[in-house]
A and B are shown apart, each in its own frame.
Chain A
Amino acid sequence: MMRRQSLVALIFVAPFLVIFGAYTLIPTILAAVISVTDITTMGLRNPFDAAFVGIANFTRILRDPIFLQSMRTTLVVVVTAVPLTMALGLALAIALNKPIRHFRGIFRGGFYLPVVVNMVAIGVIWKYAFSDQGLINSGLESWGMSAPNWLGDPHWALPTVIALGVWRNFGFCMVLFLAGLQTIPEDLYEAAKVDGASRWQSFMGITLPMLRPTTLLVSILMTIFFLQVFDEPYVLTGGGPLNTTTSVALYTYKQFSFGNINLASAASFLLLLVVGAITALQLIVLRPKN
């Protein structure tokens, strides 16, 4: 019985083994190998002609001012977009959990919509709205406000890209926080009320501590997401002006499109390390108690 099931099970899991092997396992090994060679896209025809260069690719990109700038840009995106996205998501979740009783479905669905739509399409729309004489600026000017060149000005391009990232993700945070809020027992709030606690006090004393696991999960998911930010800058600015919106993922893509797959792999590898470290942290910190 057991042996027959083993054979059947092998057939059942075969599709996963094939796809996992070809698209996760082998690529992970390849990524490590390529990043220590001098291979380029041109050299892929005769891959064994490539020479081992040790950590030269890593030292090269770490001396590339554009890569350093892309790390700085990615860091700025993470430290601004993650808290903003989470704060918006949490505020909406709290509002839609109890105080708002009517049209809940519409509100939740509407705020979640940006999560499921295509970023290239949305990027084109934002470009149209935020272009020099576009909808946003005509709106601002009609209110008598000054209108910057959002996507062309090195000071405004990154904030605009970040705004798109926040727009895309806060609904996702909202949904996870809503799920977290629903696990908090109502009696806790009742008891606090009896003890004369204000709403602010019950928020600080009950809601936030009880939400801790959710908050941790959301913050790590968002950090991992924004570390890999690519679609938003690719579509809105292509990484410009003056490389101010080139993220690490976009830098990797550019090196790849120049044919420098060795440098692209080295950059990906560094990103993979950071993402891997944060994921490991997630597993350690969020591991269920039992």
Chain B
Amino acid sequence: MTGATSSRRFETALLYAVIAVGLAITLLPFLWVASGSLRSTGEIMRNPGAWFPERLTIENFVALFERHRFLGYLINSSLVSVLTVLTNVGFGAMVGYALGKLEFRGKRLVYAAVLCALMVPLSALFVPQFIVTVKLGLANSLFGVAAPMLLTPISIFIFRQYVISVPDELLEAARLDGAGEFRVFAQFVLPMCRPALATIAVMSFLASWNNFLWPLIIAQDEGVYTLPVGLAVASRAANRTEFGLLLAGAVVILLPVLILFLVLQRQFAMGFAGQGVK
């Protein structure tokens, strides 16, 4: 019996070791980017394969913002993401509430449209979306960069699923007290659905901050590049001597998401569930 327990223990220890090594390998790229972005250009040229810097330097970050236009890209990415989060939270809640709690003609049709939109892969529609954006006069504007993401169907879906669980009696009571539909929504529904709003905020921030194909297509002018577009363009033009600079650019893109991930694990976890239904 003791033999069985100790072999069981050994197995568990082995499993921990394997999982820990797997985790270390998975997270290697974050080590590479941290060490590479802090190496000088001269050092990378002399010894491209070194895993750790001989001397730490922030020259790449300084160059990124002083000689290159990454500050502009950072501002563009931030503006687009803030706008996307605000519209997804606001509109997502409005539409989700209507679909979950109001009765109106055409409700089933609208809900079917939301489900359809959930399934259409956006990467397959970028050509006509480009044409629509051009014809709307939004090409080469930050609003055009944000446009297709302003209200994603998943935001509506998450809010609808959540708001359904709010008891109808509460809303009826508010209505009997004389509150109009908009007040019921703003004063009663929104505060009760804070977790759903937080999930929508996190998911739409990620979708917007990480979006690449659409901004690549619609932002033709450097003035409206987002960070991923700016980094991709720089990366294709660069030779390997500029790796330090590119890695510093990667850090600028990754850092906000890493911080959010550490702070808001709960909302990320709820996001999984939302994606799962997709």
| A residues adjacent to B (C-beta < 8 A) | 2, 4-6, 8-10, 12-13, 15-17, 19-20, 22-28, 30-31, 34, 44, 92, 95-96, 99-100, 102, 105-107, 109-114, 116-129, 131, 133-135, 137-139, 141, 167, 171-172, 175-176, 179, 217, 221, 224, 228, 230-231, 234-235, 238, 249, 252-253, 256, 261, 264-265, 268-269, 271-272, 275-276, 279
CB-defined contacts of B113 to chain A, threshold 8 Å? 16, 20, 25
Q: Is the CB of A107 within 8 A of B19?
A: yes
Judge if B212 is at the interface, Cβ distance under 8 Å: yes
Nearest-neighbour CB distance to chain A for B27, whole angstroms, equals 6
Establish whether residues A30 and B273, one from each chain, have CB atoms under 8 Å apart when the complex forms: no
Given known contacts A16-B114, A256-B217, A116 and B268 CB-to-CB distance under 8 angstroms: yes
Contact with A along B234-278 (1 / 0, CB 8 A): 011000100100110111011001100100010010001101101
Cβ–Cβ contact A12 & B98, under 8 A:
yes
- A268 & B124 in contact (Cβ 8 Å cutoff): yes
Query: What band does the interface of chain B fall in when counting residues whose beta carbon is under 8 Å from A?
Result: 35 or more
Chain B: minimal CB distance from A282 (Å) = 9
Tell me whether B23 and A111 are in contact (CB under 8 A): yes
Contact of B213 with A23 in the complex, beta carbons under 8 Å: no
**Contact assessment for B132 and A124 in the assembled complex, using a CB-CB cutoff below 8 Å:** no
Is B125's beta carbon under 8 Å from chain A? yes
Is the beta-carbon distance between A5 and B32 smaller than 8 angstroms? no
Is there contact, CB below 8 Å, between B235 and A124?
yes
In the complex, which of the residues A5, A120, A126, A235 has the most CB atoms of chain B within 10 Å of its own CB atom?
A120
> A96 contacts B121, CB within 8 Å?
no
Interfacial chain B residues near A265, Cβ < 8 Å: 127-128
Number of A-B residue pairs, CB cutoff 8 Å, is 264
- Closest Cβ of chain B: how far from A138's Cβ, in Å? 3
11 A/B residue pairs, CB under 8 Å, sorted by A: A5-B103, A6-B103, A9-B103, A16-B91, A118-B210, A121-B33, A121-B231, A253-B216, A264-B127, A268-B124, A272-B125
A228-B123, A268-B126 are known contacts. Are A128 and B156 too (CB-CB below 8 A)?
A: no
Known: A99-B15, A128-B247, A131-B240. A119 touches B128 (CB 8 A): no
B95 touching A107 by the CB < 8 A rule? no
Measured between C-beta atoms, what is the minimum distance from A40 to chain B in Å? 11
Instruction: Decide: B29 and A122 in contact? CB cutoff 8 A.
Output: yes
Residues of A near B156 (CB, < 8 A) are 16
Instruction: Name which of B47-55, B57-65, B191-199 contacts chain A.
Output: B47-55
Residues of B with C-beta under 8 A to A228: 121, 123-124
Beyond A16-B151, A23-B129, A125-B36, 10 additional contacts (C-beta under 8 Å) are A4-B181, A19-B147, A22-B132, A92-B19, A117-B257, A121-B231, A133-B48, A135-B51, A224-B121, A249-B123
Partner of B265 from A95, A105, A272 at Cβ < 8 Å: A105
Rounded to whole Å, the gap between the CB of B106 and the closest CB of chain A is: 9
Structural contact, A16 and B128, CB atoms closer than 8 A:
no
By a CB distance below 8 angstroms, the chain A residues around B126 are 252-253, 256, 268
Q: Is the CB of B250 within 8 A of A256?
A: no
| Chain B residues near A238 (CB-CB < 8 A) | 236
Q: Are A100 and B15 in contact (CB under 8 A)?
A: yes
Contact A235 B103, CB 8 Å, known A31-B128, A121-B253:
no
Among B122-144, those with CB < 8 Å from A are 123-132, 134, 136
Give, as a whole number of angstroms, the nearest-CB distance from B77 to chain A. Answer: 10
